Homo-oligomer: A and B are copies of this chain.
């Protein structure tokens, strides 16, 4: 396959021009007209073979979908809507066989979120397959949720059970015989779901002080909110939400559920803070969106993240997954 063959293959997956997209793939640049009265959100994430994924167990169509989802999750964490994507691919020998499946999964996930592929690059990579996706989103200026708005006294919330992706990775890597017993955990690793609708709902509600997506684990991502906001955080171990499958697997493998939940990356749940007075309002919002939101801690004076288990206090600041 030459670069032109690959571009032709990608162009087959590309959507049509519209009133706000004058040129997509096939010129030196994509040309688009930004929406009036909106701000743009721009994010970029790389996935590297043997670091972030292993093709011996990652089906290419799910990898394509994941490459979209991890970027859409960053848009969700600010409360925005994704609009456009660019795909840079480093291709090593042998990938021709599954490139079409990868692109199929990539494109279907773009369509799920109504994102259009507008450009990118394809290059040879001697050191394995690499994927870099840039996503451009948009939203109303005064609704953007930054990491930096958390205040002392805020409640800390997560949008769902933690540790599932780390548990799924453990199964894929070290216990493949258990895949059929824990499909939801395996799926959480192979094809995570960005909480896009919820992120938008939370941002529009005006209740959220700070928000981030859980890509590197609670211990690290909450530390990012602390650092950006100039406050500390306490997490209450007893309040951390787990699924039954998750605790079942931890027991079966004799591994620590709390380690996965606090330090495992890749869940892509949303982590956010609100005024404690708005606890009821947040809960009602969750019910309206058929979600459960879980308060797991509070923001405090100081810095860093403390895990509280009864009287025991442990500093877990930045002890999450080193996402490289």
Residues of A within 8 A of B (CB): 2-4, 22-23, 26-34, 36, 39-52, 74-75, 77-78, 80, 84, 86, 88, 90-92, 118-128, 130, 132, 134, 136-137, 141, 144, 146-148, 212-213, 228, 318, 322-324
Q: Inside 8 A of A118's CB, which chain B residues have their CB? A: 42
Q: Which residues of B contact A39 (CB under 8 A)?
A: 22, 31-33
Count of identical protomers in the assembly: 2
A49 neighbours in B (Cβ, 8 Å):
127
A144 to B30, CA, bound (A): 11
Instruction: Determine if B48 and A30 form an interchain contact, defined as CB atoms under 8 angstroms apart.
Output: no
User: Are B324 and A3 closer than 8 Å at their CB atoms?
Assistant: yes
Are A121 and B48 within 8 A (Cβ)?
A: no
Q: With A42-B118, A146-B27 known to touch, is A126 a contact of B124 (CB < 8 Å)?
A: no
Most buried by B among A146, A213, A318: A146
Report the bound CA distance from A51 to B93 in whole Å: 13
Query: Can you name 19 extra interface pairs (CB under 8 A) apart from A30-B42, A51-B123?
Result: A2-B322, A22-B141, A22-B144, A27-B146, A31-B40, A31-B144, A36-B36, A44-B119, A44-B120, A45-B121, A46-B90, A46-B121, A46-B132, A48-B90, A50-B127, A122-B324, A123-B323, A124-B324, A132-B132
Closest approach, in angstroms, between the C-beta of A133 and any C-beta of chain B?
9
Contact B213 A28 (CB under 8 A): yes
Could you write out 20 A-B pairs with CB less than 8 Å apart? A2-B322, A23-B146, A26-B228, A28-B75, A28-B77, A29-B42, A30-B41, A32-B42, A33-B39, A34-B40, A42-B86, A43-B119, A48-B123, A48-B127, A122-B324, A123-B323, A127-B127, A127-B128, A130-B130, A134-B134
> Within the assembled complex, what's the spacing in Å between the Cα atoms of A212 and B213?
39
A141 in contact with B212 (CB, 8 Å) = no
Bound-state Cα–Cα, A28 to B210, Å: 11
How many angstroms from the CA of A233 to the CA of B212 in the assembled complex?
A: 53
A39 to B78, CA, bound (A): 24
A74 to chain B: which residues have CB within 8 Å? Answer: 28-29
Q: Cβ of A119: which chain B residues have Cβ within 8 Å of it?
A: 42-44
The answer to whether A78 and B29 touch (CB under 8 A), given A45-B121, A124-B51, A126-B127, is: yes
